[in-house]
Amino acid sequence: MSMELKKAIDQISKDRGIDRDLLIDTLEEAVRSSVNKKFKNKLDIEVSFDEEAGDIEVYQFKVVVEEVDDPNTEISLDEARIEDPNVQLEDELGFRMEISDLGRIAAQSAKQVIIQRMRDAEQEIIYEEYKDRRGEIISGIIQRRDRAGWIINLGRTEAILPKQEQIPRERFRRGDRVQGYIIDVRKEGRGPQIVVSRSHPDYMAALFKREVPEVGDGTVTIMGVARDPGKRAKVAVLSQDSDVDPVGACVGVRGSRIQNIVQEFKGERIDIVVWNHDVATYAMNALSPAKISRMTVDDVEKTLEVVVPDDQLTLAIGRKGQNVKLASKLLGWKIDIITESRYGADPSDQADLEQAEHVTGIPTDHFVQAGLGSLDALREASDEQLAAVDGMDTSKMADLRAALNLLAPNRDTREDDGIQASTADAPSHDTVVAPDDSTE
């Protein structure tokens, strides 16, 4: 080897960003491994890199003895004194070995070790680069798809977009550029694994921080995000400056700011909600655009009973329960929505509907919307009427029919005995009556 080796080390260190000393240590270890492999670990050797000569030096050491038993590790006193007249018994003498003695196989082995060590060093550098970047948005090119998800080329390394972190029904092709939100960086045997998400609520918050200057500088704070990825989301915002409208800042002139975010999520509808420390006011904002008549707040159970005009029920619940589900997720409270007509209805009807909900898993409001708001209506309903209930299928219908046969005697017994439910022990709730312009 010659000065070419030194140049190669300097070039690799510069191109790959790998510490030069680490490369030299790796090269020395590779040569040491190759020599030991060729001589079956029978030699006592030392390997070092000569900076001035730009060369690898390999020295074999032997102990000076009177009688040689192992020529690989021992040398006689007479032979030793030819090399060094002052040598004594038990001294060690070093003899330089020629690298060419390693042969083709040893050289190949050294090359493999060097490549592997360089790869390990490079992976360690990549891990150190990304381990503190959780919560950042990155961009890359779709490279391929495997069983776990999409593999994204980031340049020096790859990221994975797992199936569970994708937006439903979103499709990619090889070569597409895609953004993702880093949720994890794992140190694994084959190298660091960077996990990104497109469905995570914090991804939407990060996009608002990037697209809306007032969010980026802290004037407007994102207080919470609830998402049904690809369909609808609610974002709660709070302004730290009374002169700044948080909703207007996030939406932008003619929707210019929020439109960029909507496009990133392929048309996902985004509702901007004004956060409020008062849970009732916050809930009214979160359930917008539905109008709220009154609300009962149970602080202990963290439950809200929301009463809406009959013509607002569908709007409050949303398509497939989406509006109330997202509002509930945003608040962290359970929300029960009932209509004004049901609010003053017979409590036993509500109890029967709750039994039907327990059996079928279908919310009571779906039965009410289908005109089946009482036990008698459920018992007399035809299969066609029951099938019109949102979420009903043949199996659930059979379960409901069986349950109704059990519910009927219990209901009749309650009525015959004149038993009435007592509210004396019921927990006290706060009732909020919403003004006509309560929604935002």
| H helix or E strand, kind and range, residue 50 | strand 44-50
Residue 306 pLDDT exceeds 50: yes
Residues sharing a CB contact under 8 Å with residue 52, sequence separation 6 or more, in sequence order: none
Residue 405 pLDDT exceeds 60: yes
> pTM of whole model > 0.75?
no
Neighbours of 197 (CB within 10 A): 20
**CA dihedral sign of residues 210, 215, 221, 222:** negative
The band of 358, judged by pLDDT with boundaries at 50, 70 and 90, is confident
Superfamily of domain 131-199: Nucleic acid-binding proteins (2.40.50.140)
Residue 88 pLDDT exceeds 60: yes
What's the half-sphere exposure (Cβ side, CA atoms, 13 Å) at 176?
A: 12
Tell me what the pLDDT averaged over the chain comes to. Answer: 83
Superfamily of domain 294-440: K homology (KH) domain (3.30.300.20)
pLDDT in tens, 237-261: 999 999 999 999 999 988 889 998 9
Contact of 393 with 362, CB cutoff 8 Å = no
Strand partners, 269: 232
pLDDT at site 419:
34
The CATH number corresponding to 3-129 among 3.40.350.10, 1.10.3720.10, 3.30.1480.10, 3.40.640.10 equals 3.30.1480.10
Average pLDDT of the residues in 199-206 = 95
Strand duo 232-239 + 269-274: pairing: parallel
pLDDT at site 414:
43
Q: Angle, nearest 10°, between helix axes 256-264 and 201-211?
A: 140
Which residue from 14, 12, 6, 56 is spatially nearest to 35, judged by alpha carbons?
56
pLDDT at site 101:
56
Q: Which of 95-99, 311-315, 405-409 has the lowest mean pLDDT?
A: 405-409
pLDDT in tens, 3-55: 566 777 787 777 766 778 877 887 788 788 878 887 888 888 888 888 887 77
pLDDT at site 114:
67
Strand duo 177-188 + 137-145: pairing: antiparallel
- What are the b/e assignments for 402-422, b being 16+ CB within 10 Å? ebbeebeeebeeeeeeeeeee
pLDDT in tens, 332-352: 999 998 888 766 655 666 677
DSSP type of residue 382: -
Strand duo 232-239 + 220-228: pairing: antiparallel
Alpha-carbon distance of 431 to 280, in angstroms, equals 9
Annotated domain spans of the chain: 3-129, 131-199, 294-440
Give the residue with greater pLDDT, 117 vs 157.
Answer: 157
Residue 278 pLDDT exceeds 50: yes
pLDDT at site 113:
64
Strand partners, 74: 63
Which residue from 306, 308, 363, 314 is spatially nearest to 333, judged by alpha carbons?
306
Q: Which amino acid is at 73?
A: T
pLDDT at site 266:
83
